[in-house]
Amino acid sequence: MWLIAIIILAALLRLQNLQLLSLKLPSGYDPFYHLRLAEVIVRSGYRPDFDYYLNYPHGLNIGWLPLFDYILAFPGMLFGFDAAIYFSLVFPVVLGVLNTILVYVIARKLGDENFALLSALVYATIPAAVHTSVLGFADHHAWNTFLVLLAFYLLLRFPPVAAAPLTVLAFSWVGAPIYAAVLALASFLHFDEKKMLRALPAFLIPVVAAVVSHTVALSFVAIAAFLVIGVFIKRFGNIRVELGYIAAAALTLAVLYLAPVKELGFVKRGVSYLIGANIYLPTIAEAQSFDFAGVMSLTGYLSFLLALPSLFTFRDRFLQAFFFTSLALSILQSRFTEILAVPISFFAANTLIYVFERTEVIVREEEESEEEDTKKKKRSKRRKERRSKKEEKLSLGDKAVVAAFLAVIFTPSFIISIKPSELSEDWQAALTWLKENTDSTSHYLTPDKGKPEYSILSWWDYGNWIVFVAKRPVVCNNFQAGAIDAARFFTAQNEEDALKIAKKRGVRYVVTDEEMGFENESGKYTGKFEAIMSIAGLKPELMDDEDVLDFYNTSMLYRLHEEDAENLKHFRLVEEFGKVKIFEVVG
């Protein structure tokens, strides 16, 4: 009964923004492009690898692996594209519920029923897990987590079979080796030599992903090689030797990263991605580095703090390794809190079990049943007395206190889990206007076959919205290609420089949002303009807020959005929808 209640809670938390069902639109940013690709699959019968609607007029190779897009498109291939849309909106919720159930199943393998229920309850409410599986968030995050959890369970029960979810993951996401490495490291520290040999195929078979990505395949080869050597290291039976091997492997990775060898490009790209070694990642909210407050927030604050004591009392090397590696990833980029949520659920539940045992809210029977045969009867009698005493103690008031305690623990998670749709009514109206009142562009459903006629320039955050909803090409989108030109356009200090960029990029319309600016709200400056300056190469971090404000007040973005292009010759305001404005390039 309690598991059903937790499953219902997990579903309700994820059924936010129900209006998306009537709008037939996803939430977030990347999900819009996933649905754009699903639409091409359904209506044109193939998934393009190149898209002229991005990075106009040059186009862009699509770096995403295709499997997840085909999953979203599959219902549409049978029943029409509307079916694909509704499936895409609901699919993350289903995955979120399944992930909660998998956490329960894994926890049941590691402990008793109470531990499993509390683990599932913690996971069901952790913001990082909720945010990636809310209604409409049709991105690969919840899918990746599902596959990792399934692989986690199978590694503990049937290690070779874990190859199945890891292989699917390798076909779904180019970052699959990152999560596979977390599982491999945990397996190395947890398993003995024989179990390591049984687990090895799980990390070797995904090499077949070479048919879609050589980078992913080579990364799995490296992971498998780490485990092969690890089998021999296990023969020492010494944890210090094992930790020394891990340190040596990390040092080897660092050397390969620094080596000036062209063939090691996949290592450089992977490590650069993790450490945020490019100009774009620091400007992305989910890719923030060393954001400890953000990591704690996304893991529910109190849930994170509850997990810490159990790191020393719950001596399970698999979970400990999982926690520390996923924590390190989350510190490098906050987006990885989606898997940090998994070990936190187990460790926080273990701490709660300890609290409840100390207060005799629950009694753990396993510890008592392990006594010698001669003491079984005495233990049985003592257990019955304790259970009877506990039942006497747990009055209605006591149960209310326990419920209140859990409510206090999970209230921060509930609050932070609320995630309104990013697509505002202003943007919905603006995108609809663009679709209905601007000239249609060609090749929307065959984006690799030819160039469309013109583009729309906005900041990269909004590019996928424009492509999918307005059906128009963009200079830049969430892949960041074209973002430098967009940034230089909005930070330009004169109209002539901005116009050169607009003509080079075939821009007919410019869309601005109030959030792109730089404003002082109650003594704190807000807006995206500093990020725009960073990508334009202007280093706002070396400037005072007042200097940034002065620069903003003379920028092209200010002259467009704040002055409505009144003093510009080649741009004019054509429509305004609350905080969103649309300008046309003239002359």
Closest CA to 226 of 242, 215, 238: 242
Q: Render pLDDT for 16-52 as a digit per residue (tens, 0 to 9).
A: 888 888 889 999 999 999 999 999 999 999 999 999 9
Q: Which residues pair with 513 in a beta bridge?
A: 580
Is pLDDT larger for residue 161 or for residue 1? 161
Q: Which helix (H) or strand (E) holds 229?
A: helix 214-233
* pLDDT tens profile 139-169: 999 999 999 999 999 999 999 999 999 999 9
Q: Distance between CA atoms of 475 and 461, rounded to whole angstroms?
A: 12
pLDDT in tens, 239-269: 999 999 999 999 998 888 888 877 777 777 7
Q: Are 220 and 210 a contacting pair, CB within 8 Å?
A: no
* Widest distance between CA atoms in the chain: 97
pLDDT, average across residues 169-192: 94
Residues whose CB is less than 8 angstroms from the CB of residue 188 and which lie 6 or more positions away in sequence, other chains included: 196, 226, 227, 230, 234, 242, 246, 321
194-201 — which CB contacts under 8 Å span 24+ positions?
Answer: 195/159, 196/227, 196/230, 196/231, 196/234, 197/231, 198/159, 198/160, 199/155, 199/159, 199/160, 199/162, 199/227, 200/224, 200/227, 200/228, 200/231, 201/159, 201/160, 201/163
pLDDT score of 377 more than 60: no
In this model, does residue 370 exceed pLDDT 50?
no
CATH number given to 425-585: 3.40.50.12610
Type of residue at 109: K
Using the CB atoms, write b or e for 74-84: b if 16+ within 10 Å.
Answer: bbbbeeebebb
In the predicted structure, residue 5 carries a pLDDT above the cut 80 = yes
Q: Binning pLDDT at 50, 70 and 90, where does residue 396 land?
A: low
Percent of the chain with pLDDT over 70: 91
Point out the least confidently predicted range of 268-282, 305-319, 467-481: 268-282
pLDDT at 371: 47
- Looking at residue 380, its pLDDT comes to 53
pLDDT digits (tens, 9 = 90+) for 401-429: 777 777 777 888 878 888 888 889 999 99
Q: How far apart are CA 571 and CA 496, in angstroms?
A: 11
Residue 291: the pLDDT is 84
The rounded radius of gyration (Å) of the Cα atoms in the chain is 27
CB atoms closer than 10 angstroms to residue 579: 17
3-state secondary structure of 518: coil
Average pLDDT, integer, range 55-66: 93
Instruction: Give the per-residue pLDDT at 366.
Output: 47
Domain ranges of the chain: 2-354, 425-585
Q: Which comes out higher in pLDDT, residue 47 or 387?
A: 47
Contact (Cβ atoms closer than 8 angstroms) between residue 433 and residue 575:
yes
Nearby residues of 62 by Cβ (< 8 Å), 6 or more positions away:
37, 48, 49, 50, 51
Which of 509, 510, 443 lies closest to 53 in space, CA to CA? 443
Other CB atoms within a 10 A radius of the CB of residue 540 amount to: 20
State how far the Cα of 174 lies from the Cα of 564, in Å rounded to an integer.
42
How far apart, in whole angstroms, are the C-alpha atoms of residue 67 and residue 50?
Answer: 16
- pLDDT value, residue 391: 47
The angle at the Cα of 177, spanning 172 to 183, to the nearest 5 degrees, equals: 110
Residue 129: pLDDT over 60: yes
* Contacts made by residues 15-21, CB under 8 angstroms, sequence distance 24+: 15/93, 15/134, 15/135, 16/134, 16/135, 16/418, 16/419, 16/420, 17/134, 17/135, 17/136, 17/419, 17/420, 17/421, 18/135, 19/421, 20/89, 20/135, 20/136, 20/421, 21/86, 21/89, 21/135
How many Cβ atoms are within 10 Å of 164's Cβ, its own excluded? 17
Flag whether pLDDT at 300 surpasses 90: no
pLDDT tens-digit map of 445-488: 999 999 999 999 999 999 999 999 999 999 999 888 999 999 99
Average pLDDT, the chain: 88
Give yes or no for a contact between 34 and 69, defined as CB atoms under 8 angstroms apart.
yes
Helix, strand, coil % in the chain, rounded to nearest 5? 70, 5, 25
For residues 204 and 224, the answer to whether their CB atoms sit within 8 Å is yes
pLDDT of residue 39: 96
User: Each residue of 514-554: pLDDT tens digit?
Assistant: 999 988 776 778 889 999 999 999 988 888 888 999 999 99
**Tokens 């010494």 found at:** 238
Burial class (CB in 10 A: 0-12, 13-18, 19+), 52: buried
Q: Which amino acid is at 125?
A: T
Number of neighbouring beta carbons within 10 Å of residue 382: 12
Q: What is the pLDDT of residue 405?
A: 76
